[in-house]
Amino acid sequence: MELFRLKNTVNFMSYRKIAMVFSALLMIASVVSLATNKLNFGLDFTGGTLIEVGFPQAADLEMLRGVMSENGFDDAKVQFYGSSRDVVIRLGLRDDVKAEMLGNEVLDILQNATGDAVDMRRIEFVGASVGDELAEQGGLAMLTALICILIYVAFRFEWRFAVGSVVALFHDVLLTLGLFSVLQLEFDLTVLAAILAVIGYSLNDTIVVSDRIRENFRKIRESNAEEIINISLTQTLSRTFITSITTLLVLAALFFQGGALIHGFATALLFGVFVGTYSSIYVASLVALSLGISKEDLIPEVIEKEGADQEAMMP
Amino acid sequence: MLNKYPLWKTLMVAMIVALGALYALPNIYGEAPAVQVSGLRGVEANAATLDTIKAQLQQNNLTFDSIALENGQVLTRFKNTEDQLKARDVLDDSLGNKFSVALNLTPNTPDWLASIGGTPMKLGLDLSGGVSFLMEVNMQAAINKAQEGMVSDFRGDLRNEKIRYRSVKETKDAVQVIFRKVEDLEAGESLLKKRYRDLLLTTDEDKLTLTAKMTDQKLKEVREYALQQNITIIRNRVNELGVAEPLVQRQGQKHIVIELPGVQDTAKAKEILNATATIEFRLVDTEGDLSQALNGRIPANAILLTDKDGKPTLLKKRVMLTGDHITDAKSGFDEYSRPEVNISLDSAGGSKMSSGTKSNIGQPMATVFIEYKATDRKDAEGNIIFEKVEEIISVATIQARLGKSFRITGAGSASEAHNLALLLRAGALIAPITIVEERTVGPTLGAENVRLGFEAIMMGFGLVFIFMMIYYRAFGVVANLALGANLILIVGIMSMIPGATLTLPGMAGIVLTVGMAVDANVLIFERIREEIREGKTIQQSIHQGYEAAISTIVDANITTLIAALILFAIGTGPVKGFAVTLSIGILTSMFTSVVVSRSIVNVVWGGKRLDKISI
């Protein structure tokens, strides 16, 4: 079976103005949303206490809210989690000395109020200093990842490709963050992990395309850069889509089957893979083209033998 | 010939996959409920303990599958959890407070598999249920305490050398000595310089002051010591909790991670972790009548305490020295190679000890371990009631007047001496710790996470399987076989690496790997199709397809690996689990999708004359 039996080269680059405007608009929208709506940071980053309890039947949120404020927890946020029998209660940081005992206290209150009908599913407490450190480390990790990748790609390809792929990554990360900001989805550690995985995935795509562009620059004589990029994108289009389909298939399985804890993770990846596919076609090659990639830049690199890595990988 | 591997190469690939399968095997045997009995405070479970346990179980008509003594612990396996729970209660009652009795799940791995190191994957707390704490050591307190020690040491040193000073006091990050005369300042400086090489001394002759600051090296040592000491103490306390396979580990410069699988009552765990333990030295009351005291007539100036074997001793009520003066305790051997414990005290403790022992040479002295243990009872306000437990850990005869450092012999075996040293150190906590993070996962959520994760993996795998088979037909089957080998290798390697734990995000990582691993095969197959379209022969196309795609595959995977490794470096707990499975998945998928799939292709189609191929 074949989905894309393309006889002629698709002129991808003819749409580049539209793509540029489209990406620019989305990126601006993301930045605006991040600046105004901010991210809905989860417990991992803000600190505080979270208690998840399960009920035998659908829970009565109003009653629970009443119980919480009666006991002096006016700031408690009580919400369903995944299903109507699962309830999550969030409490902000307090100056109490015994902050770490808060979770147990709330659990006792709930058990008293409901006659022991609740089942403790999870209690999380994160102190203020931990959250701050994590936010710092998380930002640092993303930056380090981008820099390391920039160095690797520049070393393996050419600086124009490196800049192109890092711009594409930045684009993907920004849009994913934008989505979380616009929809006010909770941004926790697993989402951060998902975004790093998006970086990995998007790069994977970009490299496959860049690799083909490099190969075609060497193989095809007398052709301008735009034409070669079009040919390369057409040749890899089938692979780009098939891989996206298989990845989206497993992510859909994760989204629908993985449970509420994994939802944010799956959402970030689903969206990230989607924009990653788009960006590897448009953003990365477009940036390389705009930076003036040409045949001459890639010719001297022929010293490297194709498939040289295979010997090393053999057992 | 094209597309033919030499036989050894094909066999090698098959062997690697088989090895992966072998080590993945323990995961399908499941686990059996067990009770684990381990000794507390220096006591080790031995053959006698094993016999006691056997006798107790038989008395109560509890049948067990097997019982074994391993690493100073007795592990008894049961058929079902009902017997396991009953046995726990029976043993907890009969073995008393010398042993900790913990519920455990032990893998049902067959002996032959276990003997070659086969174990199932370790599950993270989000899958097994339990609690993890992150504790922070208050380093400022440790440094302050070290400075306090410096103040009293300086006073003692200057007084001994008869150098007059006006005052010795702590400033923000240093200790300042003010002298009366320049000569005293100089004498003081040369004395302290000789004695404390790890301090930076500066003098001001106009103000007659000497300032002593700890060097960076010394500060680092102080911090390191505070962290290590806290880890030791926490390990000790965690053992009291009766948790099978607890984990106490340092994380970074000032944090300690504690993982307690299966613990649900976190309130009790927290109280115990925050509880205090201390040491006291008391003289033995040799005049009082022990038998009368046992009948309830304890002399007014004495107390009656027992040691770990229940042997009673009458002690003087007056405490000679408390444990907070202990600065260090090490175990070693004396000149007759008997085990001993060397104890160092701060100066104040030294002078107390000196005056306390001066007139009591030849008298026995007891070391008492005091601990506040959480009980199951609660007071009116719902706070857990603590019980003060005092126990004699050693009685030794005072041989000479004791000073700042002395030793205790007669504490028993070398390992008991080691444990005593550990307890003595634990008695003087130099830096308080606080819980800065807690994550508790209930057993129902844990089990649900396992089920959901497993279903997601199966569903993802199934969808990709069907898709590949439809899209690439025969070659799709090859890709699917490679994918299956990939899953087996991931599970096998995860089981083999001791530190690797499977978490819920880790399972998500496996799902993601399944989706992304076929990418390499898609790349290859698309390339083969292209080559065929260009009119090359089938064999040439297959060869070209694999050869041309490899450098792309390696490049694409290495970059993902970079992201995964960075995640591994910063992540903790579940997220680290994701980084681990993702990294392993990337490496195994490169092997399976390139080498394993090629081997299959070579065996099936290699070297044959083909006009058509199902791709």
**Span A252-274, average pLDDT:** 91
Q: Do B562 and A145 touch (CB under 8 A)?
A: yes
Q: Which residue of A has its CA nearest to B552?
A: A208
Convert the pLDDT of each residue in B522-539 to its tens digit.
Answer: 999 999 998 998 889 999
Q: How far is B261 from chain A (nearest CA, A)?
A: 14
| pLDDT for the residue B591 | 94
**Rg of chain B over CA atoms, in angstroms?**
33
Minimal Cα–Cα distance from B438 to chain A, Å?
5
Beta carbons of A242 and B522 less than 8 Å apart: yes
Chain B residues with CB-CB distance to A258 below 8 A: 452-453, 456, 504, 508, 511
Cα–Cα distance between B48 and B46 in angstroms, integer?
Answer: 5
| 3-state DSSP assignment of residue B513 | helix
Contact B436, B291 (CB under 8 A): no
When the pLDDT of each residue in chain B is averaged and rounded to a whole number, the result is 84
Question: Which of A100, A106, A240 to mutate: most B Cβ within 10 Å?
Answer: A100
Q: What is the pLDDT of residues A203-245, one digit of tens each?
A: 888 888 888 888 898 888 767 888 899 999 998 998 999 999 9
CA distance B579 to B457: 17
The number of residues in chain B equals: 615
Instruction: Tell me the nearest-neighbour CA distance from A143 into chain B, angstroms.
Output: 10
Q: Residue type at B361?
A: I
H/E run at residue B74: strand B73-77
Nearest by Cα to B587 from B490, B497, B508: B490
Q: Which of B150, B220, B142 is nearest to B430 (CA)?
A: B142
Q: How would you classify residue B117: left for phi > 0, otherwise alpha for psi between -120 and 50, otherwise beta? A: left
Q: For residue A100, how many C-alpha atoms fall within 13 Å in the half-sphere facing its CB?
A: 23
Q: B589 in the Ramachandran plot: left (φ > 0), alpha (ψ -120 to 50) or beta? A: alpha
Element (H, E) at B433: strand B433-441
3-class secondary structure for B372-428? EEEEEEECCCCCEEEEEEEEEEEEEECCCCCCCEEEEECCCCHHHHHHHHHHHHHCC
Question: Which of A100, A249, A250, A263 to mutate against chain B (most B CBs within 10 Å)?
Answer: A250
For the segment B227-254, the average pLDDT, to the nearest whole number, is 80
The C-alpha atoms of residue B217 and residue B202 are separated, in whole angstroms, by 17
Q: Are B131 and B439 in contact (CB under 8 A)?
A: yes
Q: B396-429 b/e with 16+ CB inside 10 Å = b? A: bebeeebebebbbbebeeeebbbbbbbbbbbbbb
Question: E strand or H helix at A246, and its extent?
Answer: helix A225-257
Chain A interface mutation, best of B437, B471, B489, B524, highest count of A Cβ atoms under 10 Å: B437
Subunit contact A310:B266, Cβ cutoff 8 A: no
Report the 10 Å Cβ neighbour count for B155.
Answer: 16
> In chain A, what residues touch B128 (CB-CB under 8 Å)?
none
- Dihedral angle at the C-alpha atoms of B308, B312, B316, B319, nearest 10 degrees? 10
What pLDDT, on the 0 to 100 scale, is given for residue A71?
Answer: 85
B168, B176 Cβ separation under 8 angstroms: yes
Structural domains of chain B sorted by starting position, each given as residue range(s) with its CATH number in brackets? 7-26+442-605 (1.20.1640.10), 31-107 (3.30.70.260), 140-219 (3.30.1360), 276-415 (3.30.1360)
Report phi then psi at A207, rounded to 5.
-65, -40
DSSP-derived secondary structure for B544-613: HHHHHHHHHHHHHHHHHHHHHHHHHHH--HHHHHHHHHHHHHHHHHHIIIIIIHHHHHHHHHTTS--S--
A226–chain B nearest CA distance, Å: 21
**A303 to chain B, minimum CA–CA distance in Å?**
14
The pLDDT of residue B543 is: 93
In order of B312, B319, B391, the CA distances from B305 in angstroms are: 6, 14, 6
Show the tokens assigned to A64: 């629970």
Task: Name the residue among B456, B471, B519 with its Cβ closest to that of A204.
Answer: B519
Q: Using CB atoms, which residue from B554, B563, B591 is nearest to A197?
A: B563
Answer yes or no: is pLDDT of A303 > 70: no
Say what the pLDDT of residue B25 is: 92
Whole-angstrom distance, CA of residue A245 vs CA of residue A237:
12
Q: Classify residue B103 as exposed, middle or buried by CB count within 10 Å of its CB (0-12, 13-18, 19+).
A: middle
C-beta atoms surrounding B525 within 10 Å: 26
Average pLDDT for A165-172 = 91
Residues of B in contact with A239 (CB under 8 A): 519, 522-523, 526
Residues B457-492: pLDDT tens digits? Answer: 999 999 999 999 999 999 999 999 999 999 999 999
Q: Do A250 and B515 touch (CB under 8 A)?
A: yes
Identify the pLDDT of residue B394.
79
Per-residue confidence (pLDDT) for residue A311, from 0 to 100: 47
Give phi and psi for B219, each to the nearest 5: -60, -40
What letter does residue A118 receive in the DSSP assignment? -
Nearest CA in chain B to A262: B505
Q: Could you report the predicted ipTM of this complex, rounded to two decimals?
A: 0.85
Give the three-state DSSP class for B132. Answer: strand
Distance in angstroms (rounded) separating the CA atoms of residues A233 and A146:
24
Q: Residue A312: which pLDDT band, with cuts at 50, 70 and 90?
A: very low
Residue B374 predicted with pLDDT over 60: no
pLDDT of residue B97: 63
B31 to each of B26, B28, B110, how far by Cα in Å?
Answer: 10, 9, 11
Classified by CATH at the fold level, domain A48-126 comes out as: Alpha-Beta Plaits (3.30.70)
Residue B141 has pLDDT above 90, yes or no: no
Q: How much of chain B, in percent, has pLDDT values that exceed 70? A: 91
Contact A196 B566 (CB under 8 A): yes
- In CATH terms, the fold of domain A12-40+131-300 is Multidrug efflux transporter AcrB transmembrane fold (1.20.1640)
- Categorize the per-residue pLDDT at A313 as very low, low, confident or very high, splitting at 50, 70 and 90: very low
Instruction: Work out the number of other CB atoms within 10 angstroms of the CB of residue B193.
Output: 13
Q: Which residues in chain B have Cβ-Cβ distances shorter than 8 Å to A315? A: 9, 12-13, 16, 595
How far is CA B249 from each of CA B116, B231, B238, B494, B577, rounded to the nearest angstrom?
27, 7, 12, 20, 16
Pair of tokens at residue B615:
């791709």
| Spatial CB neighbours of B492, under 8 Å, sequence gap ≥ 6 | B19, B20, B21, B22, B23, B24
Q: Distance between CA atoms of B8 and B13, rounded to whole angstroms?
A: 9
Host H or E run for residue A138: helix A128-156
CB pair distance less than 8 Å for B134 and A138: no
Of the spans A180-189, B226-235, B278-287, which averages the highest pLDDT? A180-189
Instruction: Answer positive or negative: Cα dihedral of B532, B537, B540, B543.
Output: positive
Q: How confident is the model over B552-591, as pLDDT tens digits?
A: 898 888 888 888 888 888 777 777 888 899 999 999 999 9
The DSSP code sequence of B202-250 is EEETTTTEEEEEE-HHHHHHHHHHHHHHHHHHHHHHHHHTT-SS-EEEE
Mutate to test the interface with A, among B547, B558, B562, B592 (most CBs of A within 10 A): B562
Best B526, B565, B591 member to test A by mutation, with max A CBs in 10 Å, is B526
pLDDT tens readout for residues B504-527: 889 988 988 888 888 999 999 999
Through-space distance between the first and last CA atoms of chain B, rounded to whole angstroms = 22
CATH code 1.20.1640.10 region(s) in chain A: 12-40+131-300
CA A51 to chain centre: 26
**Phi, psi angles (nearest 5°) of residue B44:** -115, 145
State the span(s) of chain A assigned CATH 3.30.70.3400: 48-126
Average pLDDT over residues A39-48: 88
Is B566 close to A148, i.e. CB distance below 8 A? yes
Contacts of B9 in chain A (CB under 8 A): 314-315
Q: For residue A127, what pLDDT is reported?
A: 82
Chain A environment of B564 (Cβ under 8 Å)? 196-197, 200
Give the separation between CA B260 and CA B237, rounded to whole angstroms: 12
Question: In this complex, do A123 and B551 lie within 8 Å of one another by their Cβ atoms?
Answer: no
Q: Are A125 and A102 in contact (CB under 8 A)?
A: yes
Confidence bin at B381 (pLDDT 50/70/90): low
User: Region A173-184: what's the mean pLDDT?
Assistant: 95
Q: Rounded CA gap, B407 and B420, in Å?
A: 12
C-beta separation of B269 from B260 below 8 A: yes
Contact check, Cβ <8 Å, B571/A193: yes
CB neighbour burial string for A189-204, b if at least 16 within 10 angstroms, e if fewer: bbbbbbbbbbbbbbbb
pLDDT tens-digit readout, B166-192: 888 888 788 999 998 888 888 888 888
What is the overall mean pLDDT for chain A? Answer: 85
The kind and range of the H/E element at B18 are helix B7-24
Nearest to B505 among A141, A193, A211 (CB): A193
Structure-block tokens of residue A109: 């209150």
* Residues of chain A neighbouring B567 (CB-CB closer than 8 A): 141, 193, 196
- Of residues B316, B346, B341, the one with CA closest to residue B330: B341
How far is A32 from chain B, CA to nearest CA, in Å? Answer: 27
pLDDT the model gives residue A31: 96
User: What average pLDDT does this structure show over B310-321?
Assistant: 84
List CB contacts (< 8 A) between B548 and chain A: 215, 306-307
- Distance, in Å, from the CA atom of B37 to the CA atom of B40, rounded to the nearest integer, reads 10
Exposed e or buried b for every residue in B469-502, given b needs 16+ CB within 10 A? eebbeebbbbbbbbbebbbbbbbbbbbbeeebbb
Which burial class, exposed, middle or buried, applies to B377 when counting CB atoms under 10 A from its CB (0-12, 13-18, 19+)? exposed
Residue B227: what residue type?
A: L
One-letter identity of residue A20: M
